[in-house]
Structure 1
Amino acid sequence: MYNLIRNILFKLDPEKSHSLLLKCLKLKSYFHTKRINYNKYLYKPVKLMGLNFKNALGLAAGLDKNGIYVDSFAKMGFGFIEIGTVTPKPQSGNKIPRLFRIIPAHALINRMGFNNSGIDQIVSNLKKISFKGVIGVNIGKNKNTPIEKGILDYIHCMKKIYYLSSYIAINISSPNTQKLRELQYGILFEKLLVGIKHTQEKLTKIYKKHVPIAIKISPDLSEQEIIHICYNLIKYDIDAVIATNTTSDFSLIKGLQNSTEIGGLSGQPLQSKSTNIIKILNRELKNRIVIIGVGGIDSLISAREKIHSGAQLIQLYSSLIYHGPKIVKKIIKYL
């Protein structure tokens, strides 16, 4: 059935078809006979960072930017759901068109630019959901905030969303916000971690609740840069690292339709690159920090590969567009 639906949706503009699909997913009638019974084969609990995950497969940030469709995705069987990226102020993102399919490679290029309704609206949205599982909130800085003051945007979002989040993901690796990736390096990275950790400790005391912090990194880092990141993640007692965001390396899709578009590449071509990053993280972190693997997971084999490389949790995004909800059940059932 999904293959038929996909053929229709793929005739539409990618962003419009994604929006239409999400609205369809939210219709109660669609889920009337599709409710998940976790007691069967999708309930494979994992406990990490003090959190109880229904299973190890989550939805990556990007599909539900504003936390509107959490309940719909939860019914597919995901063990946890990450929404966002969310910024302090609402922003429309980059000019349309900004999302492109690379169909032969089962990939997407996006240059969305953190389009979202702003942290206050997301707080309101999350108060309405019924899902009781793990919800991560992925946060970023506004486009117009100077990179040197970016830390203030992250702290602002943390203070707003802390009590509603299971964990908070710090997005410093999107290629679609100018200079954002500079926050992964040197003194800017250390200042960010100091500010984030200090804020986490203050909010833990206020709410009597420890909300884990995950740092989402780029797949385009060198080995030495990854080693430096690992050193600081351990030094500042960060809870988790998400590997990885989209890539700016388009070598594997050269010559394909839309392959010259600017943005971040996700999907199958990212698979090996993100897995190699996980291997380095696993070697350097030595199980001291949770690794969440994401990038090109499109089958049971690629999911297992991420886990065997060191990821304790995994996420998918692009493969949901190409394969539909069945990929979620298939991976969880046989993990």
Structure 2
Amino acid sequence: MRQAFYALARHALFRLDPESAHRLSIKALKSGLVQWRPAGDVDPRLAVQASGLQFANPLGMAAGFDKNAEVATEVLRLGFGFTEIGSVTPRPQTGNPQPRIFRLHSDRAVINRLGFNNDGHAEVLRRLQKLTAARPGPIGVNVGANKDSDDRIRDYALGITVFYDLADYFTVNVSSPNTPGLRDLQARENLTLLINAVHEARAASRSGNKAEKPIFVKVAPDLSEEDLEDIVQVAADCALDGLIVSNTTLSRQGLSAARHAGEAGGLSGRPLFERSTIVLAKLRKRIGPKMTLIGLGGVDSADTALEKIRAGADLVQLYTGFVYEGPAIVCAILNGLSRAVERENAGSIAELRDTHLDRWADKPMPL
């Protein structure tokens, strides 16, 4: 019944431009009317421990949906194991001119060139301070740099400092294609400087017996084998906590829709699945079993979420799949993962990690 209701609601939402539809979705969550997964309906076999954090299940909402920390608790109450707000920059910024989001319905994909539009550190901090200490799950803060910043590394470090007491983990977003020059921070020398700076900010923000909050770096899917080697080496040298693989792609490979396919920006959704999963597996193969990897890109079903885990992910995230499938996607994926654990007679979802690692890691890098 609820899924049928969402199908009708989606039809109405999709008649609106994407940004208006998104604002309406946020308002619906704020109203408290949208609560999809019953409280306490949790399969303990889906629990995951990663980077010192406990997750009730491995499914998270990716950054971009709740940029400004307006509905972090409400998102978790849908059944997600964690959520990530942002990207947040020190100063508010409006982002790129509209229109800047384009739906590719037949491909279950989206192209966006938002450009880190957000309310800035001060406003997002104010909202996070209102959250109760008893959160339904971990809340991550995705930090970014202002487009016109004269010191982007300083912007990232400032994000760690400002949100240290309120974030459960941090994501350093150096892979958005919509801020000119940002992806240059993935280069070996620049990435080393950046990670060292955010680690110093973390060390300075700790006091007493405060836990050390994990810091993940979100990477692009448009990487060469040499780029992967550089990222792995920097991650090892700098004792990075983990990687999120991956952000949106500049590639248009595999698209069937002609309308909007030529728009500039990053492509997300179903066409990104194979590309991002290959990169995920290749990084897992190189980086070893201990570092936390979060799989993102094209997750829109239990099968795709499970395949990310089989390819090396400890946790998975989605966003575009939520746009097309609605809140019921959370239950559908978690129920599917539970069935997979049962079917394979595993003690936990973590036991299924890496079971298809070689299959994905041996594939050639996408063009």
Q: Same fold (TM over 0.5)?
A: yes
For structure 2, list consecutive stretches of 5 or more residues without a partner in the other structure. 338-367
1:228-243 correspondence runs (5 A): 228-243=230-245
TM-score by length of 1: 0.95
Match of 1:14 among 9, 15, 18: 18
**Alignment pair present for 1:25 and 2:29:** yes
TM-score by length of 2: 0.87
Q: Distance in 1 between matches of 2:32 and 2:270?
A: 32
- Partners of 2:106 and 2:256 within 8 A in 1: no
Please name the residue that 1:249 is paired with: 251
Return the offset for 1:40: 4.1
Q: Distance in 2 between matches of 1:65 and 1:207?
A: 30
Q: Distance in 2 between matches of 1:304 and 1:133?
A: 21
Q: Distance in 1 between matches of 2:45 and 2:6?
A: 24
**Alignment pair present for 1:105 and 2:130:** no
Q: Distance in 1 between matches of 2:217 and 2:83?
A: 16
- Partners of 1:42 and 1:329 within 8 A in 2: no
- Partners of 2:106 and 2:257 within 8 A in 1: no
Q: Distance in 2 between matches of 1:206 and 1:243?
A: 33
Q: Per-residue displacement from partner, 1:225-259 (whole Å, max 9, x unpaired)?
A: 01110111011001010000000001222652111
- Partners of 1:303 and 1:331 within 8 A in 2: yes
Return the offset for 1:61: 0.2
Structure 1 counterpart of 2:40, which letter? Y
- Partners of 2:47 and 2:54 within 8 A in 1: yes
Please name the residue that 2:301 is paired with: 299
Q: Per-residue displacement from partner, 1:259-295 (whole Å, max 9, x unpaired)?
A: 1111100000000000001111110111231000000
1:115-264 correspondence runs (5 A): 115-130=117-132, 131-146=135-150, 149-205=151-207, 208-253=210-255, 256-264=258-266
Return the offset for 1:25: 1.8
Structure 2 counterpart of 1:5, which letter? A
Q: Distance in 1 between matches of 2:103 and 2:148?
A: 28
**Alignment pair present for 1:319 and 2:321:** yes
Structure 2 counterpart of 1:327, which letter? I
Return the offset for 1:219: 0.4
Return the offset for 1:74: 1.1
Match of 2:53 among 16, 32, 51: 51
Please name the residue that 2:348 is paired with: none
Structure 2 counterpart of 1:168, which letter? F
Structure 2 counterpart of 1:274, which letter? S
For structure 1, list consecutive stretches of 5 or more residues without a partner in the other structure. none
Q: Per-residue displacement from partner, 1:13-65 (whole Å, max 9, x unpaired)?
A: 0111111111112212444xx56323444883211111111110000000000
Structure 1 counterpart of 2:333, which letter? I
Q: RMSD between aligned alpha carbons?
A: 1.5
Q: Distance in 2 between matches of 1:143 and 1:254?
A: 33
Return the offset for 1:206: 5.9
Check 1:250–1:206 CA distance in 2 against 1; reply closer, same or farther (3 A cut): farther
- Partners of 1:135 and 1:165 within 8 A in 2: yes
Q: Distance in 2 between matches of 1:206 and 1:117?
A: 31
- Partners of 1:38 and 1:77 within 8 A in 2: no
- Partners of 1:234 and 1:289 within 8 A in 2: no
1:29-40 correspondence runs (5 A): 29-31=33-35, 34=36, 36-40=38-42
Please name the residue that 2:289 is paired with: 287
Return the offset for 1:127: 1.4
- Partners of 2:104 and 2:257 within 8 A in 1: no
* SS in structure 1 at match of 2:193: helix
Return the offset for 1:215: 0.2
